[in-house]
Homo-oligomer: A and B are copies of this chain.
Amino acid sequence: MANLKYSRQRESIKHFLATTKEHPTADTVYTHVKEEFPNISLGTVYRNLKLLTDLGEAIKITAPDGGDRFDGCTQPHNHFYCTKCKRILDLDLDMKKIEMINQAAADNFDGIIHSSNTIFFGECSDCIKKS
């Protein structure tokens, strides 16, 4: 791994991720950071998002549709995907439950389980209200 050098663009991306509750796509990050750095390129956003996830300073969420989403909150937590509005929301689940699931899976399985990722599907409260 190479040495890391400060960059204002990266700092701005980190700041945006840290303050938004959305789970933005790379493109959404790009649009927002562009307000501060009008010349920033999408490539730079992708490069930094990859760097941040590799460093463990952000999480990449693989959504069942389109592009990946990013989350500045690196605390272990789960996600909910609203099948109506396609938003991803946070969903807190007791870590003990997750460990229990991993244990139950390990019992039936012939390899080593390091971790698991659960995504929940359904309809969010906003969409329920509207219908």
Interface residues of A (CB under 8 A from B): 60, 62-64, 78, 80, 82-83, 89, 91-94, 97, 100-102, 104-105, 108-125, 127-128
Report the bound CA distance from A64 to B50 in whole Å.
Answer: 13
Whether B108 and A93, one on each chain, are in contact in the complex, defined by CB atoms closer than 8 angstroms, is yes
Contact of A92 among B63, B108, B112 (CB under 8 A): B108
Instruction: Give Cα distance in the complex from A66 to B81, angstroms.
Output: 20
How many identical chains are in the complex? 2
Q: A3 CB to closest chain B CB, in angstroms?
A: 26
- Closest CB in chain B relative to A130 CB, distance in Å: 12
**In the assembled complex, which residues on chain B have CB atoms less than 8 Å from the CB atom of A128?**
111-112
Contact assessment for A120 and B115 in the assembled complex, using a CB-CB cutoff below 8 Å: yes
